[in-house]
Structure 1
């Protein structure tokens, strides 16, 4: 099951166990049970602190649970936690034994205070880079709440249950069999969802904060870099973000960031956040900005930022780095069948369509790469492009056209997502050359048609926006509003690339610092 290299790594981790634990398998007669049994026994062989048991009573079989010796397991894995989920397994083994999690004291106290009674199930695919965060968050909640359980369910292990629940996107989260969320969610987001008293306390806490010198709105590469450059100047710096990492969290392969030959989005984000936290930066996560007033619009000459929850933050300068989001089709049926066949992340959700027919909308690099990846999983992939030619790099086009189970349809305008009321069954498109509407029968649609800037909250402000909704900036990253700067994919700067965003974030921060000095604030 585990190769020697992985065994060596796992053995080293198990030396950190704080107390004896048991890994308890619940088995049946299937081949999958044989693999579970083998994994459980191999783990136990690596440490005297681990005991393997094969007498588990979990109703979902095959699976295994992890518990302190003599206790009932509250953390369960229904499947083989390999791939991206191997880290979830390691953390579960350590944390169940009493090993302290690497979370803030505040969030850990909030978890313990939940005192929740619930059974959590999260359906995952092992190729999903967003799933581990949800699995690890639920495991932590179960470890510190004696009346809660958490189960990771590999959809490929329990295909019948996936079909029955009509799960077509991961991670998919259930509490006591009731659906409560899907997609990437951080520990903070999940705890906030479960802690019904958190909102009021959070507003009070935010309103009590002192004036910032630089307040960064957005936690992507531009925002993270802005915060680092500001904090290094020794001035009071904060980041307010809906999700630290931004769209990079949904990016799989990063191979063009200088000095980093290859990494993945979640790892890039984790390392960026660690870098930011080296400095005295106040990170305010899970916050959406609702309104912004420039220094000329307030009585005290400070920039005012109003959050969606009603809290107000003030700063001498603000750097807007809110990034961009995936563009949607905006056709009938898209909203209705979102997560029920309409998807936006081929890496995460692709394995759920194994052996089925799918479509990719969009002929740029992202769309063609998605079609190539999906072709290795699905029965057939159809790429639909509005233009009369693909816009992706030629090497990607050549690869796509070489695949026997792919079809490319050009000059096609997607007009409707169709389904049977519970899941996608096809799509309609207009032939822009010959005219007429065509229908393609399929089970999944992956939308890859570009980006939209996250600037909706500025449409009623004085900040100038381009026709595309981008923040208009000059060469110093200044907007037309006093004290307000901007950087990254939300601006008019060309070339939406991670490395460009980081450079723009540095420029914006240096400009903000220069503004503070020159204005005498």
Structure 2
């Protein structure tokens, strides 16, 4: 199952095991079980600290458990953890084997202190770039705390269970048999849901922080670049981000990042955060900004209020809040989100294998999604509002060569149809004739662009009708001392490389603003002190 190079690399990793690990496989006579047998046997051959058994009694077959410490530490994979999940397999082996996770020590102590019973199940797909974060976080918890167990389940392999439990989006996490979470979550986010006092403690710590010279709100490519360029100037820099990496985390393949022929979103996001942390930047994750109070004069401080109620103060602000998937805004969309309405074909496509799906949107993203889904689904219908597709010609040529894809143009989607539990179809209007049509479907993938995350700034700062932050050539906004960069702004062409450049520019502009403000700042301090 593992090639020579991968086996050699895994052998080096397994040298870090601190205690014996046992692999216990529960197999049947399927081809996947044969592959699993070869995988676990191959792993056991790479380290004298790893043994393997084939007498497991797990009802899900094929599956295997990674056990240590007399069974008190255990992670289970139901399915072959390859593709995006191979890293999850390697980390599970290490962490169950006693190698310490690279997480905040205080967070790991909180995991060890959890009391009660926590039986987690995560449904993933091998093409999902969001799933590994969830799988790895829950495996860490299972490795550290005997009260926690975790089973990672390949939804494409266990289709009957997926149907029975009505899972239509991954990652889908269940706790003690009940839905717990949907979508990307890291260890801190999971613990915040379990430990109700965690958010209050975090807010208290944040509120006690000294003012920053520059505070970046948002942790995507623009925010990372701004932080690095500001920190290199030796000024006190902070980043408050809902999730570091932003929209990049939801990007499958990146092939136009200059000097890097190919990478993937989660990998790039991890590299961005690691680079930022090379500098003395105060990174505050899981923080959502809800209000901006501008400084009331030169030398005064701006304030950003967070969802937790904490407030951060700074001499300058750089807004890099990015954008999110645009929704159709039609009846039924909200009701059937994650019940057939999806926004990530790479993540959720395998759950619709052999089924009927539609893609909304005829740009590059929509056509790429339709091409991907055509290899999995029985039928794919692409619906475009315009009279023609807007995707690159090479993509259109590939699309039209696929026999199970139907393209409908000049079509306005008017309603998502369902039976109360899941999507059953879609209603659209032919814009040429006003005639209405219904398509019977199992899933709908929405690919109609992005909307900036700026609602919280409405009425505080100049925004366009589309909600974009108006910026000048230096990234300055309508508020003195407040800058912005990336997909949330009026800067054209929403590309990663452009967002990074705009972020660097905003970081330099904020520093330039500060050094020119210094005399006024000193004067303000004298007025405060002596009246």
Query: Under a length normalisation based on structure 2, what TM-score does the superposition of the two structures give?
Result: 0.96
Task: State the partner residue of 1:412.
Answer: 411
Q: Is this contact kept in 1: 2:430–2:437, CA < 8 A?
A: yes
Q: Which residue of 2 aligns with 1:470?
A: 468
**Relative to structure 2, which stretch is displaced further, 508-517 or 33-42?**
33-42
What does residue 524 of structure 2 align with?
A: none
Counterpart of 1:4 in structure 2 is 4
| CA distance in structure 1 between the aligned counterparts of 2:257 and 2:243, rounded to whole angstroms | 22
Q: Specify the alignment match of 1:447 in structure 2.
A: 446
C-alpha displacement of 1:27: 2.8
Establish whether residue 186 from structure 1 lines up as the match of residue 162 from structure 2: no
* Structure 2 Cα separation of the partners of residues 448 and 234 of structure 1: 42
Q: Indicate which of 511, 514, 526 corresponds to 1:513.
A: 511
- Residue number in structure 2 paired with 1:128: 128
What's the CA shift for 1:38?
Answer: 2.4
Q: Which residue of 1 aligns with 2:527?
A: none
Q: Which residue of 1 aligns with 2:336?
A: 337
Cα displacement (A) at 1:7: 1.9
* CA-CA distance at 1:31 after TM superposition: 3.9
Please list, as runs of the form range in 1=range in 2, the aligned pairs for 1:227-376 lying within 5 A after superposition: 227-296=227-296, 301-376=300-375
Aligned length: 519
CA distance in 1, matches of 2:332, 2:39: 43
- Whole-Å Cα distance in 2 between the matches of residues 256 and 156 of structure 1? 30
Q: Which digits, 9 at most, give the CA deviation of each residue in 1:210-258, with x for residues without a partner?
A: 0100000000000000000000001100000111100000011111111
CA RMSD of the aligned region, Å? 1.3
- What's the counterpart of residue 103 of structure 1? 103
Q: Secondary structure at the match of 1:74?
A: strand
CA–CA distance in 2 between the matches of 1:62 and 1:297?
A: 66
CA contact (8 A) 1:116 1:145 kept: no
- 1:174 aligns to what SS in structure 2? strand
Preserved contact between residue 114 and residue 147 of structure 2 (Cα < 8 Å): no
Which of 501, 504, 515 is matched with 1:503 structurally? 501
Question: For residues 57 and 224 of structure 1, what CA distance do their matches in structure 2 show?
Answer: 47
Query: SS of 1:122's equivalent?
Result: strand
Residue of structure 1 equivalent to 2:142: 142
CA distance in 1, matches of 2:170, 2:89: 18
Residues 1:283 and 1:116: Cα distance change in structure 2 (over 3 Å): farther
Instruction: Report the Cα distance in structure 1 between the residues aligned to 2:290 and 2:311, rounded to whole angstroms.
Output: 10
Q: Residue deviations 1:363-404, cap 9 Å, x none?
A: 011001111111111111110000001111111111111111
Partner SS for 1:114: coil
Question: Paired residue for 2:395?
Answer: 396
The 3 A distance-change label for structure 1 pair 69 and 22 is farther
Q: Per-residue displacement from partner, 1:422-469 (whole Å, max 9, x unpaired)?
A: 1111100000001111011111100000110000100132x0000110
TM-score, L = length of structure 1? 0.97
Say yes or no: does 1:33 pair with 2:33: yes
| Deviation of the 1:196 alpha carbon | 1.3
Shift of 1:25: 1.1
Q: Does structure 2 retain, via aligned residues, the 8 Å contact 1:24–1:54?
A: yes
Q: How does 1:426-441 map to 2 (within 5 A)?
A: 426-441=425-440
> Contact 2:73 / 2:146 at 8 angstroms: preserved in 1?
no
Gaps of 5+ in 2: 522-531
Q: Does 1:156 align with 2:191?
A: no
Whether the 8 Å CA contact 1:65–1:73 is kept in 2: the answer is no
Measure, in 2, the Cα distance between the counterparts of 1:234 and 1:113: 38
| Pairs within 5 Å for 1:162-181 | 162-181=162-181
SS in 1 for 2:71: coil
Tell me how far apart the structure 1 counterparts of residues 214 and 57 of structure 2 sit (CA, whole Å). Answer: 55
Q: Shift in Å at residue 72 of structure 1?
A: 5.0
CA distance in 1, matches of 2:465, 2:107: 41
Q: Secondary structure at the match of 1:67?
A: strand
CA spacing shift, 1:71–1:121, aligned 2, 3 Å: same
SS of the residue 1:66 aligns to: strand
Report deviation, 1:73. 5.2
8 Å Cα contact 2:73-2:144 kept in structure 1: no
